Amino acid sequence: MKHYQILIIGGGTAGITIAAQLKRKDSSLNIGLIEPSEKHYYQPAWTLVGAGAFDFKETERDEADYIPKGVDWIKGEATAIDPDLNQVSTANSGDFTYDYLIPVPGLVMAPELLPGLTEAMDKGVVCSNYTDPEHTWEVLQNFKGGNAVFTQPTTPIKCGGAPQKIMYMAEDYFRKKGIRNKTNVLFATPGTVIFGVPEFAKTLNKIIHDRNIIFKPFYAPIRIDPEKQEIFFQYSKPGESNCTLMEGNPLGEELTGATEIKVHYDMLHLAPPQAAPKFIRDSKISIQEGPGKGWVDVDIHTMQHKRYPNIFSIGDVAHLPTAKTGAAIRKQAPVLVENLLRLIQSGEAGNKSYEGYSSCPIVTGYGKMLLCEFKYDNVKDSDPMISTFVDTTKEQYSMWLLKKYGLPFMYWNLMLRGKA
């Protein structure tokens, strides 16, 4: 059985960034990295791919080009973690033991959690930038009018802002195409507000109002009928045991139960339900019961596991009360690396602290973007340098350029190389 000083599970944004930073700090570290995929994707650009503003091929690179020198790539899937034995099992490479474990496999799409979605997914007029952004662009181009429905599930998802980004882009596209006057654009979310940070929500609420977008909070999607092109929502406002709809509402919504609403769609974009991979959910390293069930049980500031001190985790599978984004990983990784190295060197973990920073670059149309930056408790947390020159609570062309050119460059050349 092969042994590694540090074993990383996952070669996505978190895994590669951590491996690169560790190797930069100490090239003698003995590191193994478990990852099945041959390709590495820059997923933040998929929002733009779905709106025809970015080439999908530009978001794809070979994984091999980004595994840091001196790190062993174990090409395969992790299938089980036994933290009591310090052991990880894989599908085709056997078992590995470790001194320190960093499980950062990202999350998985779970369309089966929304009845009807598996059958409908990425076919016909149902699309998702999370799975096939090129299909989204086809759907937009073929759309002739009617109800354009955009929604998201009740599960945690990566990049919580993405379901509304494509909605703004689509709405702008329908205007350019001359079909906006015969289109209802609906954004339905199980959430209570358009965005959790008040300073940014104010701007987004104004955009929704000015562009005549129908916003429905407390709408949790519960099933889809792909044949009839209907989606059903549960109205989930606390304390409301029934729901009333106005006669002649523009969407043609119908009540199908006390708090159940049916909407016909002529196009449907959604973020599928998402979950931690099964081997994480089934392992003792995940929270066993309660609200965080199935996610890795780490300290929200130090990234160290609460019960197994030789395990650290960040990114999408870690139970952290902030948005699951690449920007969050960029701030989490250095904290993990420093605290882990201190543990290796002195036997006691460092106390570098992560304060919950995440960022959601919300594109609000072609050539316009809001850079929403925040930390724990939905407190605005804008980059001091950027906010000196730019009011990030307003739509900006400069921020669009950052999204389209600056951030991808930074990702491939700096972040994945352990330099940012």
Catalytic residue numbers read: 159, 360
Among residues 83, 219, 47, 94, the alpha carbon closest in space to that of 149 is found at 219
Which residues, at least 6 apart from 246, have a Cβ–Cβ distance to it below 8 Å? Answer: none
Record the tokens describing residue 222, joined without a space.
């519960």
β partners of residue 294: none
- The rounded distance, in Å, linking the Cα atoms of 151 and 268 is 8
- The rounded distance, in Å, linking the Cα atoms of 9 and 27 is 19
Backbone angles phi, psi at 103, to 5 degrees: -85, 110
Which residues, at least 6 apart from 356, have a Cβ–Cβ distance to it below 8 Å? Answer: 300, 320, 321, 322, 374, 375, 376, 377
Walk across the sheet containing 379-380 and list its strands.
358-365, 368-375, 379-380
Among residues 145, 158, 151, the alpha carbon closest in space to that of 191 is found at 151
Residue type, 219: Y
| CA 253 from centre of chain | 29
Record the tokens describing residue 115, joined without a space.
């009845």
Question: Which helix (H) or strand (E) is 106 found in, with range?
Answer: none
